[in-house]
Structure 1
Amino acid sequence: MSKQSDEGVTLPEGFTGSSFFRHILEEAMQRYPNDFKDIKLPSRKDFKKSYGETVVRFEAARVNSKLRSEIAKYMVRRTQDQLQYKSPIFTGPFTQYMAGNSKPSPLETIDLGESEGFKPEVPFRGQRYEGARLKDLAELMLQEHQITKAAAKAITWISREALNDDGCINLKGQKFVILGASAELAPTAMLLKAGASVLWVDIQDCKSFVDRHKGLSGTLYFGEKARNILLEPQTIGSTIEAFADGEPVHIGMFAYAAGASQEWRLTATMNGIVRSLEPSIVGSVSMLVSPTSPAVMQPEDLDRAKTMHRSPPAWQGVLKTLGLLNLENQFEKEGLPVARAIVPLQGVGYQAAQYISKTLAAEVFATQGVSLDGDAKPLRVSANVAGITKTRSLQHPVFQAAFLGAKTFGVEIFEVQTTQALSGLLLLYDLLNQDHKVQDDPQQLFAEQVHGGIYSRAFALDPMIRIATVMGLAQKPRLLLKILS
């Protein structure tokens, strides 16, 4: 992906990811002063140091407001309206650029054959759970406080649905667009195993992806001029419409790239691409939300966290007495608790992407629909929390050390294959279960959480990670050399 930025989608002139995030928060506070009257925004100089607690309290104020979805729409709109696009033939507002016309990229296809259906299974701790055993996995993870009741219900539903159809799920005839199709946690392989027609949008070559994965079926589409999300958003939009050919398509937004606020620019651009489409062709929108975001905790996790805080394990009690672990893992305002799960090391731009262009954007899609103007036409949305996972983006030695120490706090760090599988099952539930509707209660949109225990622990995540890192370094001292080098 292009860096910030010579060409393509950029932040407004003069802004960094940090300052633009603060700017959007400030605009919302000015627009809705009564809802945010208790929020004190740090100065521009101090924002990076203390943004975590600020964003948690901001979200607590928003979700407890009667105008929560209106505020979300305002913040998403203000982000989209201020992005810029630069190229040799156009420089100006991103929304203006996306309103223009572009020829779709010619599409090539790879026919992967007929599908026997996708057989749902999840690898976890050396075992493979499939069929009726998926219910056992859901019950195990719920018992260990790693997932919410809503997530357990979804996994159990999928196991029943598959058993009703010879143990398989078939998506033949359904169209999917995957923005960031090669991303480690994208559901691309699962969809193709289920026989779907998939439009590949990614700078990585889809042919090497096909070579690496066995058992694919359905049809894979790709356009050579519709691959780079930051550079070619207009062409990607027109190519999606050509691929849809008047039929509804499911759009997944999974692109990721670190550095230079790319994560935020990518997520905001993917939102802009979807919002530029003819609303009638957008059947659903899906994405994954990071667990290190200010999520509203579910009642079962809140109860567990409060119990743990009152009676922590002895060694955690000592750290609590010493003041090393004293901040509770949630901030409560009028009954809706928001998790203190932000990890500052991941960067302000990363958090801005997760909060504004995922959490808030998902709520807007679910309550308002594709267009930010006119009457609401709610969309089917899948926006579930995925657990902390050993992806390439978390190969930093600090995170590696923290992963080693996390088990002492009862936090599960998932393998990529496990998160892929669990997230895929939740996605299928959200799209296939016609009784699953969230537009009347936006809080239910985020109820399916695979958090691995970070929302059910006693203490805020960041200080917990710091202590886990020290524990991990004690177990594996050579990681310290990597940190210092």
Structure 2
Amino acid sequence: MTDAPGLQWPLDAKGKRATGAPGQRIIAAALRGLDATAADAVAAEHDWRHAYPAHWCALVQAQAARPVGVVASARAGLAAAWRELPFMRAGQAHALADAMNTPQRRLQTLQLRGSGDAAPARWTVPHQGRELHGDALARQIDRWEKGGICEAAHAGALRDCLAHPEWFDLSDQHLVLLGAGSEAGPLAWLAKWRANLVGIDLARAATWKRIAAIVAAGNATLIAPVAPDQPLDVAHAGADLLADTPEIAAWLASRQQPLSIANLAYLDGERHVRVSLAMDAISATLCAADARTQLAYMATPTDVFAVPEQLARDVMRRYAERGLVKKLGQFGARLGSGGRGFAPHIEGLIDAGDFGRDSGTWGLVDALVVEQGPNYALAKRLQQWRALVARADGHRVAFNVAPSTTTASVVSNPLLAAGFRGAKAFGVEVFAPATTNALMAAMWVHQLRTEARDFAHPLKLLVHTANHGGLWRLPYRPRSVLPMAALLGFVKRR
């Protein structure tokens, strides 16, 4: 890694920027107040790259069992991340909090206006070669819900959107897209719904040419930052979330408007943690500056989540009710894989009833894909933590688990790409980017237009409206059948 300006990993004892030990310290900090023994186990782990799923499960299990400690755990994890990763300026390391308080330059503002049809476009969902709307879309939503592809609240929200087309006139909303050009992001839809958009993405001419074309074809307005020493045009638009973090936050705060901020940016490998922390710093700064600030997240289903008892019992029932032929075949596969294949997904329930009002009983879905690595999991965990903290601090949070999607970044991994192709054999639906975009854009609109829900257990926020593509209702731990799904996927490609 180079010492480029902006957020970096800390130096280790050998003077190198490594990710393992800092990541362990961050997770241990989140665990410390819930389960000191589990936190010590994280700190002592010698094979973090491969063993991290067990520690993720320990964290979520402790949070599920102690709802009163969830927000404090999230605060501790975020505080550790802010301490661990320095912000580099001119070769000097600064604490992230200090850097956020001292922006070094003032960004310019470029405005783009759409020239398309002035009326908000009708919300439709492209799915398997068809453009679904009206009754056809309603029937598909029913199929997704009945098939266990999404949870009831997700389906209910989509039906609400069908019933309220007036919601999609977003001329009263100011929406910030951190990672405006994201492949799975909602820009293409928001640009057709008269929204007041703020786009943040790297200063790459090709990226901004594409963004400008999307805006021009619609009816929205979009403003973008431009460096102070650059011409005020599309070719020079953009700012670096990693290097210009304080400047972006100050520029957004200068809007002096209630903003809804979507954290969308993705980068490969260890950079995903850094860009997630950069978005977190911007989001936290704007929340502190304006109590009206709202946050939005698109989460991955390939993570560890605490899920309500009804979902957990359904998963356990599915495993128990496998036919005799399946049981015998899978028993042999488990023996041959050393117990790793066809492992039961949920083996017990977690009682949180003693720790808060009607906190209920929970199960643990573990859909982590080891090949994605601990940095990917940590980047997504930072987003969960900020969502929990911001909501506890009185901010509206739209947190939506999006289904596994065939984005370029995902299918670039041959094993994941093959696993996605074979997933249908296990009842899992993998979505095309255009379908995910349409669904997640509508879910954000729903949460902008409806009252916030009150949850007895804080973790319910993270799963209530999930569309996991059926992954969470698999009777088997997903990664225990990924090799079989990948094998099927390789055969299917041929």
| Structure 1 length-normalised TM | 0.88
Contact map agreement 1:19 1:44 (CA 8 A) in 2 = no
The 5-angstrom pairing of residues 337-376 of structure 1 reads 337-355=363-381, 357-368=382-393
- The amino acid of 1:345's aligned partner reads E
In the alignment, what sits opposite 2:257? Answer: 247
Distance 1:73 1:173, change over 3 A: same
After TM superposition, give the deviation of residue 125 of structure 1 in Å: 2.6
Partner Cα separation in structure 2 for residue 154 and residue 27 of structure 1: 36
Partner Cα separation in structure 1 for residue 131 and residue 323 of structure 2: 32
After TM superposition, give the deviation of residue 473 of structure 1 in Å: 2.2
SS in 1 for 2:164: helix
In the alignment, what sits opposite 2:398? Answer: 382
Partner Cα separation in structure 2 for residue 316 and residue 22 of structure 1: 39
After TM superposition, give the deviation of residue 39 of structure 1 in Å: 8.2
Instruction: Choose the corresponding residue for 2:266, options 239, 247, 256.
Output: 256
Partner Cα separation in structure 1 for residue 425 and residue 2 of structure 2: 39
In the alignment, what sits opposite 1:480? Answer: none
Partner Cα separation in structure 2 for residue 275 and residue 89 of structure 1: 25
After TM superposition, give the deviation of residue 116 of structure 1 in Å: 0.7
After TM superposition, give the deviation of residue 12 of structure 1 in Å: 2.2
Indicate whether 1:272 and 2:281 are aligned. Answer: yes
- The amino acid of 1:23's aligned partner reads R
After TM superposition, give the deviation of residue 320 of structure 1 in Å: 2.7
Contact map agreement 2:87 2:94 (CA 8 A) in 1 = yes
Contact map agreement 2:70 2:458 (CA 8 A) in 1 = no
The 5-angstrom pairing of residues 50-449 of structure 1 reads 50-65=51-66, 66-88=68-90, 90-113=92-115, 115-162=118-165, 165=166, 169-203=168-202, 204=204, 205-211=207-213, 215-225=217-227, 227-242=239-254, 244=255, 246-259=256-269, 261-277=270-286, 278-280=288-290, 282-312=292-322, 316-322=326-332, 323=334, 324=337, 325-330=341-346, 332-334=349-351, 335-355=361-381, 357-368=382-393, 378-394=394-410, 395-434=412-451, 436-438=452-454, 441-446=457-462, 447-449=464-466
Distance 1:214 1:416, change over 3 A: farther
Distance 1:308 1:231, change over 3 A: same
SS in 1 for 2:42: coil
Between 1:297-306 and 1:137-146, the stretch displaced more is 297-306
1:10-68: CA deviation from partner (whole Å, max 9, x where unpaired): 1222263332221122233444446x669843744222221112211221111221211
Partner Cα separation in structure 2 for residue 304 and residue 39 of structure 1: 34
SS in 1 for 2:182: coil
SS in 2 for 1:231: coil
SS in 2 for 1:147: coil
Partner Cα separation in structure 1 for residue 325 and residue 403 of structure 2: 25
After TM superposition, give the deviation of residue 132 of structure 1 in Å: 4.5
Partner Cα separation in structure 2 for residue 388 and residue 401 of structure 1: 13
Unaligned runs of 5+ in 1: 369-377, 478-485
After TM superposition, give the deviation of residue 351 of structure 1 in Å: 0.5
Contact map agreement 2:176 2:262 (CA 8 A) in 1 = yes
Unaligned runs of 5+ in 2: 228-237, 352-360
In the alignment, what sits opposite 1:467? Answer: 484
Partner Cα separation in structure 1 for residue 90 and residue 39 of structure 2: 46
- The amino acid of 1:363's aligned partner reads L
Distance 1:329 1:188, change over 3 A: same
1:179-213: CA deviation from partner (whole Å, max 9, x where unpaired): 10000111122222111111110014323223257
Distance 1:100 1:239, change over 3 A: same
Partner Cα separation in structure 2 for residue 67 and residue 386 of structure 1: 26
Partner Cα separation in structure 1 for residue 2 and residue 137 of structure 2: 44
After TM superposition, give the deviation of residue 91 of structure 1 in Å: 2.6
In the alignment, what sits opposite 1:371? Answer: none
Contact map agreement 2:198 2:224 (CA 8 A) in 1 = yes
Distance 1:60 1:202, change over 3 A: same
1:383-434: CA deviation from partner (whole Å, max 9, x where unpaired): 1111111001112221221122111111111100111111111111111112
After TM superposition, give the deviation of residue 319 of structure 1 in Å: 4.2
Contact map agreement 1:284 1:431 (CA 8 A) in 2 = no
In the alignment, what sits opposite 2:467? Answer: 450
Partner Cα separation in structure 2 for residue 38 and residue 307 of structure 1: 32
- The amino acid of 2:194's aligned partner reads G
Distance 1:314 1:416, change over 3 A: farther
SS in 2 for 1:295: strand
After TM superposition, give the deviation of residue 442 of structure 1 in Å: 2.2
Partner Cα separation in structure 2 for residue 317 and residue 38 of structure 1: 37
Distance 1:307 1:187, change over 3 A: same
Contact map agreement 1:115 1:217 (CA 8 A) in 2 = yes
Percent sequence identity over matched residues?
19
Aligned length in residues: 456
SS in 1 for 2:222: strand
Contact map agreement 2:291 2:395 (CA 8 A) in 1 = no
SS in 2 for 1:128: strand
Partner Cα separation in structure 2 for residue 389 and residue 293 of structure 1: 14
Distance 1:304 1:441, change over 3 A: closer
The 5-angstrom pairing of residues 13-24 of structure 1 reads 13-14=11-12, 16-24=18-26
Partner Cα separation in structure 1 for residue 369 and residue 101 of structure 2: 37
Partner Cα separation in structure 1 for residue 263 and residue 328 of structure 2: 44
Contact map agreement 2:309 2:362 (CA 8 A) in 1 = no
Distance 1:194 1:86, change over 3 A: same
Distance 1:411 1:32, change over 3 A: closer
Distance 1:42 1:457, change over 3 A: farther
Partner Cα separation in structure 2 for residue 471 and residue 365 of structure 1: 42
Between 1:422-431 and 1:24-33, the stretch displaced more is 24-33
Contact map agreement 1:247 1:281 (CA 8 A) in 2 = no
After TM superposition, give the deviation of residue 89 of structure 1 in Å: 7.0
Root-mean-square deviation (Å)? 2.3
Distance 1:414 1:214, change over 3 A: farther
Contact map agreement 2:34 2:63 (CA 8 A) in 1 = no
1:152-176: CA deviation from partner (whole Å, max 9, x where unpaired): 11111111111xx3xx610013211
| Structure 2 length-normalised TM | 0.86
